[in-house]
Structure 1
Amino acid sequence: MKKINHITLADVCKAAGVSLNTAAKVLAGQAKKARISEKTAKKVKKVAQSLDYVPNQMARSLRAKKTSIIGIFVADMIDPIYAAITHSILEELPKHNLFPLLTVAEAGYEMCRQTWLRNRIDGLIFCGTTPEMTPQAYSNLEKNNIRIVIAGNYYLPSGQSAFLPQVSLVHIDNHAGMQLIINHLIELKKQKIAFITGPKSHSDAKDRLQAYEYIIREHQNPIIADLQTDERFWQRGYLAIKQLFEQEVKCDGIIAYDDLVAIGAIKFLHQNGINIPNDIAVVGFDNLPQAEYSTPPITSLEQPAQAIGQRSVELLVKHLAQENKIEHVHMIPALIPRESTSTSHSQIAHKNEY
């Protein structure tokens, strides 16, 4: 069998004509901090690339007592917002010389937990959480020196609507978003605005319902379409509006928990000869691609998924540097008006920076 020649850091040093320490600093992304000239850094990188040098991550981890591996947990692989946040995190981690370890709820929490511990991850970003993620579970992870950030929606235990994980969070500002939506519908002279709730186990569903109830009382009594179940997506919107109509509740505006719920509501309205937006205007959350290509295109609140992912990584990096103060960061969304509220709207009307 032919012997494989592994290129070492010493080989790179010799070829580049620099010291071992200089090469190590450059390839660890610390050239600027170590005051190594840009010319030397470029030379070392070019030589390493030409030799096809790959750092021994295990040896580096043993020396530094850190792995630079960050676990990413995705609570639901078919949820488009979790997917968008995860994509943003995967783009952001390499900028900080951190390596992703992707784990998914479908594999089971215990398998994921064992994978995190076996790979000695330094930090963990949850893109959503599941029932297994109790305060005790977070505490056990932190006892293993794993820093934690939750990105986006998190799981609410049954009967605990006030539950708030004692870890750092980065998520959409649902109150600010609901204010944008209601202001938009009031400007369009809508007077009976209903809200279709989301699954009770979703923190976003709780926040949006509370925001709706608080803000809408300035204009009318709340009109709430609630299935009292965790039915999701199109079915939830269709059945919730069907229930509202069977109860003979009148409305001229509908705010749906998310865009997929809005699409289900629109299907029911179409089937019953309701004109959108003249009879009833419809607004969703998240600004998914489906919203733009629905009939009619749906006015939606854009979920700042990329910004949530970026900010989550920035926050985790702070925790890895031993800045352990828990932070709850709210990202301000933007309203994207389309034909489901007014045929004259086709461009962004409201946008806020975070």
Structure 2
Amino acid sequence: MQELNQSSVTEFILQGFSFNPRKTPLLFSAFLIIYALIILGNSLISTLICLDSRLHTPMYFFIGILSMLDLGYTTTTVPQMLAHLVSQKKTISFASCVTQMYIFLVLGITESWLFAIMSIDRYVAICHPLRYKVIMKPWVCGAMAIFCGLWGVVSAIVYTYFAMRLPYCGPNKINHFFCEIPAVLKLACADTSINDRVDFVLGFCVILVPLSLIFVIYINIFIAILRIRSTQGRLKAFSTCASHITVVTMFCVPAMIMYMKPGSESSPEEDKKLALFYNVISAFFNPIIYSLRNKDVKKAFVKVTGWGKAPE
């Protein structure tokens, strides 16, 4: 990593969003409320899953991990974004930028593969219900979760190394609200064509492969659902699948567009909107779409808090 020491830039300036300064209080309030709801929703889901034994199933085990990942990667970026909205100083040190970049990638890549694992869980539950508990044993679920985490750690190391091995000699203004690799690479004082190829290959491995796996699995799931004779059973299965497909689409599609297109074709304003979508918006809606409307979660909430009556 000798190249890191050759960089003359010691800190970056995060330019954030382009908007009328008069709108700063409104944007700050909106993002603060959204972030607070992200913390509340995902923390509630994780807590309920831990406390209620009825939620100690593979599906809720993975949902709990999803909630913790959402909490992690939004906390990596949003508090800093909020601070920069109300502060004149919008700098971040070189080391902090690298750290933020790496942590964000670890959590994001882990989540991408977690969605594929969750689709496998749904496939076993719908297509092999009688063997579900035999196949989805606790140690199997744990091994799958570890696999996702290892993919995140290793892929993030490669991403970060190839980005930060380049010299950064100025300018130091990042046209983004956090240190995301495509935005940082635009400041490199060297050819980034190798990085574009590395990003495409890794994007294929950490986004396109999980998406393809999800697509193939859901084809088999839908075929199995159509064979269910009970209309109520088909609707219940479709409802579970629709929730998963929705959260996958909100997270993976914008991330794929961001990381798999060449840097020369990227637009800073479009990139910020994409990043906001898979970084903040998806984490905000995941608890609502995937868990809070679920009867099991509602019953767990009533049991833990003692408020109201459990829904029938």
Query: By the TM > 0.5 criterion, same fold?
Result: no
Q: Answer 1 or 2: higher relative contact order, Cα 8 Å, separation at least 6.
A: 2
Using structure 1 for the length normalisation, give the TM-score. Answer: 0.24
Using structure 2 for the length normalisation, give the TM-score. Answer: 0.26
Q: Which has the higher helix share?
A: 2
